[in-house]
Amino acid sequence: MMASLQASLRGQTLLGADDLAGVVARVNRLLYEVSSANRYATFFFARYSPATRQLSYVNAGHNPPMLLRGRSRDSKLAHLDVGGAVGKSEERGI
């Protein structure tokens, strides 16, 4: 199942990853078609732009990821808990 997920994700991102929620929705459809009813996968998919410091992500049923902001003892830890079902995405400046 993980090999199918990885292959589907790679293939869909080669088609264009501007719409992360769309990419994940297409991957979900592909994986659903080849999986048995009792199998599923969760994952977190993100794109980071260093130039704009923008993080775009989709959380596909996975535990909320954490983001560490800063590089010193004053660093702050944030949960990326915005989102919900597949098809929703969030963009944040970090």
Q: What is the pLDDT of residues 10-51, one digit of tens each?
A: 888 888 778 888 898 889 889 888 888 888 888 888 888 999
pTM, two decimal places: 0.69
Dig out the tokens for 68 from the structure: 């560490």
pLDDT tens per residue, range 56-88: 888 888 888 888 887 777 788 888 876 555 444
Instruction: Kindly list the domain boundaries of the chain, sorted by start residue.
Output: 2-93
Burial class (CB in 10 A: 0-12, 13-18, 19+), 57: buried
